Structure 1
């Protein structure tokens, strides 16, 4: 038995430099445009038996715009950033440079008072491992951080690997397998 889970990264809601921790902003104009451009390649993924999304406004809007009618999954929420919520990394680094260094180097710490990186990766992995174990397909629209965490978990990579995974808006990645045994599936380019 093998399950196919395709993760679609939500369209953007701001420029990369304006990204904020636990950003609840809806899609911006550029994000809507990007969804329209990517739709021909992404709409077919909606044929999956199960369609989910992160509970964020931009993940929901992306999934809805692609016709997925996704069910929001609280377990797919972004990492809880505690008192850093709503701030950019640059703002936090200016206010608490030692705390940012600790957060970036030790996956067990949560100097912001929220969720440690290791707990976040484990939560996303638990969601992945509790999907139906029979053959089938799932599509989930999620925040870039959620996709990174899923990849780190699925590949059994060290938590520090999280910082080396670049996930772009509207990119896709497919994991195949079953709970505890996941494989990264890279597809050929769609033309």
Structure 2
């Protein structure tokens, strides 16, 4: 039996709307209501996981699932940039954003590089290959993007070309040897088939 992994990108937060690097914050009320509208509409899973962040936990709870917290799904560590907008980072550290976006080994002060994020998510995905059945995981757009880049064996620069919207589904399958991408970023506004 092929294993199935459905990644749910959490809903919108105030930091996302402001174009800021995330802190641990709740979903916006509208995102919470949109998520609750899907309660009971997703097919049951054999296992449900969530990132530790409040926004990921609220997303999976609003969908009506009891989830196990998985620290491997934690968000990309933005270090000292957490809570700052892109403009604030650029003003405080001119050139730092360009370096971060162009060098996968560069990291925000106290944070995680793109290479480190991709290695972490590759390891997490490898751990999921041995299970059976359907797993749903509530997580972050950066994690979904890193997983997709890894599955496609694309260069790290491809990470910046993938758009994963809030409240979207990404569906993966494995035969135990390799993962395949079935659906990327299906908006939850579309009819559910997960």
Query: Where does the alignment leave 5 or more consecutive residues of structure 1 unmatched?
Result: none
User: Take 2:181 and 2:95, find their aligned partners in 1: how far apart are those partners?
Assistant: 35
For residues 23 and 102 of structure 1, do their structure 2 counterparts lie closer, same or farther at Cα, with a shift above 3 Å needed?
A: same
**Alignment map for 1:62-101 (pairs within 5 Å):** 62-101=59-98
Corresponding residue to 1:135 among 132, 147, 155: 132
Counterpart for residue 120 of structure 2: 123
Higher helix share: 1
**Alignment map for 1:39-58 (pairs within 5 Å):** 39=39, 43-45=41-43, 47-58=44-55
Counterpart for residue 103 of structure 2: 106
Moved more, 31-40 or 102-111: 31-40
Equivalences, count: 188
- Give the TM-score taking structure 1 as reference length: 0.89
Counterpart for residue 23 of structure 2: 23
- Whether 1:33 aligns to 2:33 is yes
For residues 110 and 71 of structure 1, do their structure 2 counterparts lie closer, same or farther at Cα, with a shift above 3 Å needed?
A: same
- Whether 1:144 aligns to 2:123 is no
CA contact (8 A) 2:15 2:22 kept: no
RMSD: 2.1
State the shift of 1:130 in Å: 0.4
